[in-house]
Amino acid sequence: MKKQDNDKAGVGRISVSLPAALLEDLDRLVIQRGYNSRSQAIAEVVNAQIIESRRQLGNDVMVGTITLHYDRSVRGLHARLAKLQYAHIDEVISSLHVQLSQDQVLEVLLVQGRANRLQQIADQMLTCRGVLGGRLQVHAAAMPPVQAPRQRPVKSSGTPAGRPAGKRA
């Protein structure tokens, strides 16, 4: 594939031929969603397909959400979902729990990990009795570490600040 020079760094240009009906649909999509151009709309669609492909392959670390809509009146469901979250504590980063009505709950989990692992976790949650619906949504990105190891500043003498030279911690 030949790469063309471009005035914008990191942007490549391609030519795409579409059937007339598909082009009309694309133009309607551009207007409905408020894209600045056809290129922006096409780039979003292509990106979504690439992300889906990566999710299916399962080796990439991805960030995403698991959205659950469930009936809280189903006996033991809330405890089961909480146990699943704890069992996958390395992947489940955070959760938001919203009471929609007396018995209906919407829960959104922020997750990160290998795509196939995230799909397994979502499947375990979505197949629980009382879960009315939901889905896993992933993105080809990763969050920085939530808690990076703290490093003590080093004085010009080469010893950590706050500790006299020659003394051990």
pLDDT digits (tens, 9 = 90+) for 20-74: 888 999 999 999 999 999 999 998 888 888 877 776 666 778 899 999 999 999 9
Better pLDDT: 11 or 58: 11
Residues 121 and 53 in one domain: no
Give the global pTM. Answer: 0.61
Residues 131 and 78 in one domain: yes
Residues 96 and 112 in one domain: yes
Other Cβ atoms less than 10 A from the Cβ of 5: the count is: 6
Number of separate domains in the chain: 2
Is 104:72 a contact under the CB 8 Å cutoff? yes
Q: What is the CATH number of the domain that holds 109?
A: 3.30.70.1150
Host domain of residue 122: 61-139
What does the block give as tokens for 100? 């929609």
pLDDT digits (tens, 9 = 90+) for 98-154: 999 999 999 999 999 998 899 999 999 999 999 999 999 988 778 887 665 666 666
* Residue 116 to residue 56: CA distance in whole angstroms: 7
Residues 44 and 71 in one domain: no
- The residue among 59, 157, 67 whose CA lies nearest residue 111 is 67
Per-residue pLDDT averaged across 1-13, rounded? 60
Contacts for 63 with CB less than 8 Å, ≥ 6 apart? 110, 111, 112, 138, 139, 141, 142, 143
Do strands 92-99 and 131-139 pair parallel, antiparallel, or not at all (unpaired)? unpaired
- The residue among 110, 111, 100 whose CA lies nearest residue 69 is 100
Residues 39 and 65 in one domain: no
